[in-house]
A and B are shown apart, each in its own frame.
Chain A
């Protein structure tokens, strides 16, 4: 069964304390992996798309990496405004290009 698992469920950091969020997947094939940020009560905001193992993308304090089995979202020197839920999604190459979402990691950054 195709599955996307994010860990940890929740992460509490002090401002400036760097860390990583994990997205592991067991799927029949990978067409693309997406990272989104979601604030409470709002729609997900697109961050990155990764297509192949070894690919990396950066945006401000965020860096996303991809291997054959998992993706990491590295957060360097986070600030309180980085507090949000981060969602990972995998798009399959078959079956109508179905996209499977993980449950998300809730990040709390304390000043």
Chain B
């Protein structure tokens, strides 16, 4: 059963803590993305990766970090430097970054709440 999985579904963080959100895909996609969604706003790109061991900052990368050690996995760490981390986080993947068939497919999301 192919798809994108994100875990956990809900995550609570105390101020000053780092937390890591998991994203796994078995679609054999090269490109992976992390977005943040806030009420009333469009999705905003945090980081993206076109290939293993390479990733680029998006529009709102400050306070976040990522790694891409395996094609299937693209974890996102929300650090204590992120001042307003409460949001809905979405991971996506695509067949080929910028290629002809470059539709992004999304995971179910992780809702992060700072206590």
Judge whether A101 and B43 touch: CB under 8 Å: yes
1/0 per residue, CB under 8 A from A, across B75-113: the answer is 000000000000000101000011000111111110100
Let me know if A54 is at the binding interface, CB within 8 A: no
Contact B42 A102 (CB under 8 A): yes
Question: Which residues of chain A are within 8 angstroms of B48 by Cβ–Cβ distance?
Answer: 96
Q: What is the size, in residues, of chain B's interface with A at 8 Å between Cβ atoms? A: 24
The size of the chain A interface, using a CB distance under 8 A, is: 24
- Cβ-neighbour of A43 out of B45, B97, B102, B109 (below 8 A): B109
14 CB contacts below 8 A, A to B, read: A43-B4, A43-B92, A43-B106, A43-B108, A44-B43, A45-B106, A46-B103, A46-B105, A46-B106, A49-B103, A89-B43, A97-B97, A101-B35, A103-B42
Interface residues of B (CB under 8 A from A): 4, 6, 35, 40-45, 48, 56, 90, 92, 97-98, 102-109, 111
